[in-house]
């Protein structure tokens, strides 16, 4: 299987926009949280933007300060996403819609101010990089820079996460996964009970995550069988987190980089392993 640079970006955008659509629908479902007495109350969060440019920024965000404004804003974002699915990648319409989506993503992040995680950051990186590198202005060099950057970002994100777990005594001991599954927010009572008295299984799961994440950058330079191992292993990890812990945004944000990781690896590894 092989595809062009533009096709790699296209598949990445398909997965990324699918995840962003789901995230947007989730926020619509909990839009009541943006009410004055909700966790995203603008009367409270607005206090973060005070004085000088902060006051001006707060005034800019005021239209999406209440529940009605947030709902209209999220519906508009869904319309932008639908438009991006409909237009050809790389054309003027694509660039315009993507620019508006990037702006809306930034504004909504500022409106929320709390609750961001690694999936939100990866989604923003993908959208901004695609906006900068794909469009009427792009050429082969610009496309290659964008592909290399996103592949490197994916590899770095996994490696940093893996190293952080590697230096953590709780992860090395195998207790981390059990403790996570034993929480109210991300837990699963059935799995926690299975792992409670099975220390060997806890260690196997923890060290599997540590090894795959820490060594993930190798998939860019090793022969293709190793690439598929890392992509499938990491993808299954995210799928498990989505099903068990409800972290579905991570699944889409990080697997969105896989077409680009595949493209870069398929062109880089043959030069190392002819």
223 or 95: whose pLDDT is higher?
95
How far is residue 88 from each of residues 10, 63, 157, measured CA to CA in Å?
9, 32, 30
- What is 39-73 written as a DSSP string? TT-HHHHGGGS-STHHHHHHHHHGGGSSHHHHHHH
Predicted local distance difference test score (pLDDT) of residue 1:
65
Q: By mean pLDDT, which of 49-58, 78-87, 145-154, 229-238 is the weakest?
A: 49-58
Highest mean pLDDT among 55-59, 113-117, 130-134, 196-200: 130-134
pTM (predicted TM-score): 0.93
Cβ-Cβ contacts under 8 Å for 221 (sequence gap 6 or more): 265, 268, 269, 272
Contact of 61 with 106, CB cutoff 8 Å = no
Which tens digits make up the pLDDT trace of 120-139? 999 999 999 999 999 999 99
Contact of 231 with 264, CB cutoff 8 Å = no
Contact of 260 with 125, CB cutoff 8 Å = no
């Amino acid at each position: 299987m092989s595809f062009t640079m533009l096709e790699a970006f296209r598949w990445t955008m398909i997965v990324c926009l699918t995840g962003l659509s789901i995230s947007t629908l989730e926020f619509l479902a909990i839009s009541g949280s943006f009410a004055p007495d909700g966790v995203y109350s603008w009367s409270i969060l607005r206090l973060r933007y005070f004085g000088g440019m902060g006051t001006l920024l707060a005034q800019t965000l005021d239209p999406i300060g209440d529940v009605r404004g947030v709902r209209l804003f999220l519906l508009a974002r869904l319309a932008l996403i639908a438009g991006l699915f409909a237009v050809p990648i790389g054309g003027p319409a694509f660039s315009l819609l993507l620019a508006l989506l990037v702006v809306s993503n930034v504004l909504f992040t500022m409106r929320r101010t709390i609750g961001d995680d690694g999936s939100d950051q990866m989604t923003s990186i993908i959208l901004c990089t695609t906006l900068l590198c794909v469009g009427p202005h792009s050429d082969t060099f610009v496309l290659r820079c964008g592909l290399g950057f996103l592949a490197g970002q994916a590899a770095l994100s996994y490696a940093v996460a893996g190293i952080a777990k590697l230096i953590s005594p709780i992860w090395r001991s195998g207790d981390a996964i059990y403790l996570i599954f034993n929480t109210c927010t991300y837990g699963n009572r059935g799995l926690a009970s299975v792992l409670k008295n099975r220390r060997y299984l806890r260690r196997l799961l923890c060290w599997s995550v540590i090894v795959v994440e820490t060594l993930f950058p190798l998939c860019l330079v090793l022969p293709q069988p190793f690439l598929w191992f890392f992509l499938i292993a990491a993808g299954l990890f995210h799928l498990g987190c989505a099903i068990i812990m409800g972290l579905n945004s991570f699944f889409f944000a990080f697997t969105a980089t896989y077409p680009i990781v595949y493209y870069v690896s398929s062109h880089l590894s043959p030069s190392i392993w002819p």
